[in-house]
Structure 1
Amino acid sequence: MSAPLPQTIEPNPELPMTQQIGYLAAACAREGYRLEIVDHYSGQLARVHEGSRNFLVGAGSIHSYPINNAVSVTVARDKAHTYSLLKDASIRVPEGGHFFLNQSYRAHRPDGREIADALDYARSLGFPVFVKPNDGSRGDFAELIREENALLHHLAAMGQRYHCGLVQRVVHGEEYRIFVVDGEVRFHYRKAAATLVGNGTETVAELLAAANAELVGKGISPVAADSFFLQGELERWSMMLESVPARGQRIAYTRRANLSGGGELTDFKTEADPVLAGWARQVAGVLGLRVCGIDVMSEGGLADPAAFTVMEVNGNPALAGAWNHGRRDLVIDIWARICRLAFDDLAAAALRGSA
């Protein structure tokens, strides 16, 4: 269960507020900034004031962090563009390609990246392959695909919601998130895959149905009962969909490790050695991001960045994981730092304008 959010310091405490704005409100209350909720319907837009200066901050589809460049955040949302930039900087990314999933904007692109091309490319990589939307988030439609018909079905389903998808060679290892603010690693943790937790009475199928209902409620694609990953895990446990896991038994049911998709946070740390910190600064700098979450796969932990594969650079990373992990102080510190940097930028711009 999410921790209760702090109230805004506005006169009207009944105004709605999202989690992200709630974390910001706590920082504003501590630092003495005035927080104004602009969106009175859903609480996804706010303004932070210090004297005569103010800046906007958002949540949901609005990029949250005011010190990030909008172009950089938009580029980071496009994973294919992100991979191109990182690869040019000699930073390892997954072997893969991007392909268009429907006929939208067909007149604006050359040949060679349609669904038929995606199938040929997957054959060249060899199944299974990893498939996900090019601009998706929260693990939506991210799946291991085992054969051609399953790939075509998945691409067609993904094409109902997304314009472009990625087909990649499977990358092995554990997944990690590295959170960077203005060149400093503020924390990092390991992502554990989402699991079904047995209660001694319900079958795997019933547990999966409940998990899928929660995913759909969040707007995230469900996990198929015959998915390659789940079937592999059931085989490893010598179980079937009709089997009843023992109370407390955990069965990973998807490769997705996003916290919003049911993944779990572990090995949370706020210290980063100089090598990791320098590497993270380089990755953030390639995209021009001052705040970002870098997701990497590694078979050897975070000791050797040369062994990392960057899966994504998130220009709008959530702080709910740290908050719910009991690090409210850290989240408030991060937002306080971002606010200070934003006001300093406004002051510097004013000085330039008066020169």
Structure 2
Amino acid sequence: MRKRNKKLTLPYLTRLIIKLAPKVGAKVVVEGEWGIVAQIIYRNGIVRSLRMYSLDLNHIASSDIARDKDYAKFFMQKKGYPVAEGRTIFEDNWSKVVKSKRTISYGLSYAKRLGFPVIVKPNSKSQGAGVCLSWNIGEVRRAFLEVFKGDKVAIIERYLPGNDYRIVVLGKEIISAYKRIPLSVTGDGQHSILSLLKQKQRLFSAQKRDTQINFNDLRIKIKLHHQGYSFRTILPKNHKIHLLDNANLSTGGDAIDVTNTIHPGFCKIAVNLTRDMGLRMAGVDIMVTRGDITKDPKCCDYYIIEINAAPGLDHYVTTGLKQRKIVEAMYLKILKALGKKD
């Protein structure tokens, strides 16, 4: 039997489960070489599994559908939830396998029909990977090629900007809700944008937040270009700019907690959607294009960005002690539920 490498840095959720397991009479056995997977063993003999952010809480097929953005959009739209207009585009070789003509050339024509800018993103990636706002045909083509380096299917959608929120649901309960702000820097009149970005990375490290800003991210350079800036630009004091168009915390975004101010109508939408997608726990991402999440949804315009069956909360917990306590209380509930026989 391999011993666990004591120098191995375990994922946040694994560390948390190890901390909480004794409170429910369970022990945790972690695979020793990589630390990505573990088993939770209860006194009554029940064994549950853990892999990164995924626990034995949601059914596998429902989780797989949620992970596939196109399939998830189909079922959400079928149930009457608003989603952004869009299509799937296939990598050339994969298009032959699935016998579809929706290749890059089709995607470029479709982009013109939608009107620029458009969103291009991978179908099966998470944490904001590869999500790109494209302003012209050249950028759309380049975005597709980037997506196809790691995914056979891309999604192109109409760009509908607004206030971006993540609502975490467990059963019929809202665990947390927060507004997500894209990666940004604020000028001080002295340092370049690149220097400010490096300062932000050091701040993340000091907060023990494992976000790694990709300084070579083409999306950042494109975003700067469209604002008339470069990495060398020195911003005026107190002038704030965004460097990405997606607001995921994993790509350097910030969170503003709205758990206590979210309107009950949006709570109901998130809980119902989680149930309708066959999930017990989910992160529901909602874009409110008119109004905000504190108001009655009937008085707002909004759409569902996506639903995540394994919402990573490791970045959220770094935003404050209150948030850390919320997450720990949630996973203690989950551990208790997992310890009961099916």
TM-score scaled by length of structure 1: 0.82
CA distance in 1, matches of 2:24, 2:274: 27
Q: Distance in 1 between matches of 2:261 and 2:14?
A: 26
Report if the CA contact (8 A) 2:4-2:32 is conserved.
no
Distance, in Å, in 1 between the alignment partners of 2:45 and 2:129 is 38
- 2:16 aligned with 1:23: yes
Using the TM superposition, give the Cα deviation of residue 33 of structure 1 relative to its aligned residue in structure 2, in angstroms.
2.2
1:311 to 2:301 alignment: no
Superposed CA RMSD: 3.0
2:145 corresponds to: 156
The aligned counterpart of 2:79 is 89
CA displacement 1:322-353 (0-9 Å, x = unmatched): 32122222111111111122122xx2x4xxxx
CA deviation map 1:286-332 (0-9, x unaligned)? 21011100001003111233532100100110112332122222111
Question: Hey, what does 2:326 align to over in structure 1?
Answer: 330
Shift of 1:188: 0.2
- Is it true that 1:14 corresponds to 2:6 in the alignment? yes
Secondary structure at 2:145 match in 1: helix
- Pairwise mapping of residues 123-162 of structure 1 onto structure 2 (< 5 A)? 123-162=112-151
Q: Which residue of 2 aligns with 1:64?
A: 54
2:207 aligns with: none
Aligned residues of 2:54 and 2:310 also touching (Cα < 8 A): yes
2:29 is the alignment partner of 1:36? yes
Distance 1:339 1:176, change over 3 A: same
2:250 alignment partner, one of 260, 263, 266: 260
Aligned residues: 327
Distance, in Å, in 1 between the alignment partners of 2:173 and 2:100 is 42
SS in 2 for 1:269: coil
Post-superposition shift, 1:272?
Answer: 4.9
Alignment CA distance shift 1:209-1:25 (3 Å): closer
Moved more, 43-52 or 89-98: 43-52
Contact 1:223 1:254 in 2 (8 A): no
Percent of residue pairs bearing the same amino acid type = 21
Q: Unaligned regions of 5+ residues in structure 2, if any? A: 205-209
Taking the aligned partners of 2:187 and 2:124, their CA distance within structure 1 comes to: 33
Q: Is the 8 A contact 2:41 2:48 kept in 1?
A: no
In the other structure, the counterpart of 2:218 is 223
Give the C-alpha shift of residue 275 in structure 1. Answer: 2.3
Q: Find the aligned partners of 1:148 and 1:75 in 2 and give their Cα distance.
A: 30
Q: Which residue in 2 is equivalent to 1:53? A: 45
- For residue 152 of structure 2, what is the amino acid of its counterpart? H
Structure-2 change in CA distance of 1:32 and 1:322 (3 Å): farther
SS at match of 2:49: strand
Partner of 1:53: helix, strand, or coil? coil
What 5-or-longer segments of structure 1 have no aligned partner?
A: 1-10, 350-355
CA contact (8 A) 2:28 2:40 kept: yes
Using the TM superposition, name which of 87-96 and 270-279 deviates more.
270-279
Aligned residue in 1 for 2:89: 99
CA distance in 2, matches of 1:112, 1:15: 50
Distance across 1 between alignment mates of 2:23 and 2:218: 42
Query: 1:12 & 1:193 partners in 2: Cα distance?
Result: 37
Mapped partners of 1:220, 1:90: distance in 2 = 40
**Given the superposition, is the C-alpha separation of residues 29 and 343 from structure 1 closer, same or farther in structure 2, using an over 3 Å criterion?**
closer
Q: Which moved more, 1:50-59 or 1:160-169?
A: 50-59
Given residue 287 of structure 2, which amino acid in structure 1 is its aligned partner?
Answer: M
Q: Structure 1 CA distance, aligned partners of 2:198 and 2:4?
A: 41
Instruction: Measure, in 2, the Cα distance between the counterparts of 1:295 and 1:161.
Output: 23
Kindly state the Cα deviation for residue 203 of structure 1 after the two structures are TM-superposed. Answer: 2.4
Q: Secondary structure at the match of 1:130?
A: strand
1:78 and 2:68 equivalent?
Answer: yes
AA aligned to 1:192 is I
Say whether residues 1:190 and 2:179 are aligned partners.
yes
Bigger mean CA offset, 106-115 vs 260-269: 106-115
| Alignment deviations for residues 234-266 of structure 1 (CA, whole Å, 9 cap, x no partner) | 35xxx5654312466432111121001010001
Q: Secondary structure at the match of 1:279?
A: helix
The structure-2 alpha-carbon separation of the partners of 1:248 and 1:25, relative to structure 1 and needing over 3 Å to count, comes to farther
8 Å Cα contact 1:138/1:220 also seen in 2 = no
Change (3 A) 1:305 1:112: farther
Letter in structure 2 aligned against 1:18: P
Matched AA of 2:39: R
CA shift, 1:115, in A, is 1.1
Q: Is contact 2:121-2:155 (8 Å) kept?
A: yes
Query: Given the alignment of the two structures, is residue 294 of structure 1 paired with residue 276 of structure 2, yes or no?
Result: no
Asked if residue 177 in structure 1 is aligned to residue 166 in structure 2, the reply is yes
Q: Aligned residue for 1:8? A: none
SS of the equivalent of 1:136 reads: coil
Equivalents in 2 of 1:258, 1:67: separation in Å? 23
Residue 267 of structure 1 deviates from its aligned partner by 3.0
TM-fit CA distance, 1:158? 1.8
- C-alpha change, 1:205 and 1:337, in structure 2 (3 Å) is closer
What SS does structure 1 have at the residue aligned with 2:247? Answer: coil
